[in-house]
Amino acid sequence: MRTSGRRRNAPATIEQAPALLACEMSNPEICEQLVISEATTKTHVARILQKLDLRDRVQTVIYAYETGLVAPGSPHCCQQTMEP
């Protein structure tokens, strides 16, 4: 019996994708963190850029810092983002 398309106990959620981008993670690294396929990751990245009206990943990094998704000077920004 299938209850949903998402795996249980996924280490991260899609809401954390902008922070993962800000941590300069590649699509395969994001796939691993979110437990999703690379095609799904590409779709999410494109939608994030579109919804936030950003041109590229560089603007996503700037957005993440300006909105507090990641903290300047934090050497483990992605690890902090992944905590429940």
What's the sign of the alpha-carbon dihedral 36, 9, 15, 57?
negative
Specify the CATH number for the domain of residue 39: 1.10.10.10
- Residue 24 domain-assigned (yes or no): yes
Domain membership of residue 75 (yes or no) is yes
Parent domain of 20:
14-82
Mean pLDDT, to the nearest integer, of 46-52?
A: 90
47 within some domain = yes
Residue, of 59 and 82, whose pLDDT is higher? 59
pTM beyond cutoff 0.75: no
Nearest partner of 17 among 69, 80, 67, 58, judged by Cα? 69
Q: Assess if residue 2 is contained within a domain.
A: no
- Alpha-carbon distance of 31 to 22, in angstroms, equals 15
pLDDT in tens, 3-14: 444 444 444 566
Kindly indicate the confidence band of residue 25, based on its pLDDT and cuts at 50, 70 and 90: confident
Q: Give the chain's domain count.
A: 1
pLDDT of residue 2: 39
